[in-house]
Chains A and B, each alone.
Chain A
Amino acid sequence: MSFMTAKIAPAANPLVKPLIVEGLSKSYGTGDSAIKVLSNLNLRVDPGEIISIVGPSGAGKTTLLRCLSGLLAPTAGSVHVGDTRVSEPQPEIGLVFQDYRGSLMPWMRAADNVAFPLEGKGVPKAQRLERARACLADVGLPDSGDRYPWELSGGMQQRVAIARALAYDAHILLMDEPFGSLDAQTRFELEDLVMALRKRLRISIIVVTHDIDEAVYLADRVIVLSGHPASVIDTVTVDLGEDRDQIKTKSIPRFAEYRSRILSEIRG
Chain B
Amino acid sequence: MRMRTSGYAVADRVLALLAQLWLPVLLIGLWLFVSRDSTNFYFPPLHEILGVLWTDLAKGTLLSAIAVSIGNVAMGLAVAIVLGIASGLVIGQFEGLRRVASPTLNFLRAVPPASIVPIVIIALGVGAAPKVFVIALGSFWPILLNTIDGVRGTSAAVRDTVRAYRIPTPLGIWRVSLPAALPQIMAGIRVALAVALVLMVISEFFGADSGIGFYISDGANRFATRQTWAGTILVGTLGYVLSALFLVVERRLLGWYFQDTPRARHRIALRAAGREE
Contacts and interface: CB of A to CB of B under 8 A. Distances in A.
A97 interface: yes
A95 interface: yes
Contacts of A91: 166
Interface stretch (B77-85, B135-143, B168-176): B168-176
Residue among B158, B164, B257 with most chain A CB within 10 A: B164
B163 interface: yes
B261 interface: yes
Interface residues of B, number: 24
A108 B264 CA distance: 15
A120 B168 contact: yes
Contact of A117 (B156, B165, B256, B257): B165
B158 A105 contact: yes
B262 to A, nearest CB: 11
Contacts of B263: 147, 151
Interface residues of A, number: 28
A116 B261 contact: no
Nearest to A161: B161
Contact of A150 (B155, B182, B259): B259
A97 B156 CA distance: 11
B166 A120 contact: yes
Interface string A221-237: 00000000000000000
A148 B256 contact: yes
Given A97-B160, A150-B256, A102 B155 contact: yes
Contacts of B156: 102
Interface string A102-115: 11011110000000
Given A105-B179, A150-B256, A151-B263, A99 B157 contact: yes
Given A97-B161, A150-B259, A120 B179 contact: no
A-B interface, 4 closest residue pairs, ranked by CB to CB distance from nearest: A102-B157, A117-B165, A107-B179, A95-B164
8 contacts: A71-B163, A89-B166, A91-B166, A102-B156, A106-B256, A117-B166, A120-B165, A148-B256
Given A71-B160, A106-B257, 17 more contacts: A94-B165, A95-B161, A95-B164, A95-B165, A99-B157, A103-B158, A105-B176, A116-B167, A116-B175, A119-B167, A119-B171, A120-B165, A120-B167, A120-B171, A121-B166, A147-B263, A150-B256
